[in-house]
Amino acid sequence: MTGGTVAPGPPDLSEDGSPEGLPEGLPDGPSGWLKARLARIRPALAWIGRLTRHQVRFVLVLIGSAWGVVRESMRPNSWRRTVREEFRLCLRQVVGGGFLSTIVTATLAGLMVVSQAVYWLGFAGMAQMTGSILVSVLVREISPVLVGIILLGRSGMLVLTEIGMLTLGGQIRALQAQGMDPFLLLVLPRTCAFMVGGFTLGILFATNALLMGFIITHASGVITTSVWTFFANVLAAMSSWDFLVIPLKFILVGFFVGLGACMTGLLVDADDTIATLMPRGFARGIMTVMVVNILFILGG
């Protein structure tokens, strides 16, 4: 039937539930006034939200993907032969590629830090503090930073470029089309390889820096003890906390440098190029290294 009476029914409501037909700008009671106010400040709030999300996006991605790597690495099913092979290749690249740089940098650091510390502490009559100073300055603070920078420069940027180019070229999507999760195939093994590589290079760095410092100071006659006594003094100056923190720093620096490089590569924008990708990756990598070390200082 058409025409005739109109059945009474609920009033027409707009999408947000407010009655339609009210003149714009006229508040309808306290709730209307509140809505009008909110409508005015909504763009500003949205802008602040966008800015905040943009700034902390990478940090949130890093935290989330770190949890993802830890969780996936615990599953035996994740370590398929393709993932294991990728881990092996990346570990060889990280340790092999960074070995010489680590040795050279550690030698220079040993020459500068150890010889200077031994000389000046002896000059000040505080030679007994040599071990603790070397542990706290060289092994605990300087080594993780320098190893992190070596990891980033020698291998992190390579990983970033490789994955970034795969993403830009659509090859990551092709991987997904074949049923291969890029996180499982690329991020997990590479992050774990960086973690193991960070620990390996870190221990090499610390040992070599101390050894080179000893050789120089011993040759110049500043130290007359044997190398065993020197290392025994360094070990004696280490607390049980140091035995935990120092390897943990190397491990975490490697972990986050690798993860940061992988995720920066995976999250490139369509208009990114190598010219925009590499500086961003480098800045993020340096920040990651510094933040990990600073967090340990604050925690200690």
Sites of contact with other proteins (CB under 8 A): 80-82, 162, 165-166, 169-171, 173-181, 184-185
Tokens 């933040």 correspond to 291
Dihedral of CA 34/35/40/42: which sign?
Answer: positive
Nearer residue to other proteins within complex by CB, 165 or 245 = 165
- In the complex, the smallest distance separating the C-beta of residue 186 from other proteins, rounded to whole angstroms, is 9
Nearer residue to other proteins within complex by CB, 57 or 173 = 173
Nearer residue to other proteins within complex by CB, 2 or 77 = 77
CB atoms within 10 A of CB 250: 27
- In the complex, the smallest distance separating the C-beta of residue 210 from other proteins, rounded to whole angstroms, is 38
Nearer residue to other proteins within complex by CB, 141 or 181 = 181
- In the complex, the smallest distance separating the C-beta of residue 81 from other proteins, rounded to whole angstroms, is 6
Tell me the C-alpha distance between 211 and 200, whole Å.
17
Nearer residue to other proteins within complex by CB, 89 or 227 = 89
- In the complex, the smallest distance separating the C-beta of residue 180 from other proteins, rounded to whole angstroms, is 5
- In the complex, the smallest distance separating the C-beta of residue 219 from other proteins, rounded to whole angstroms, is 46
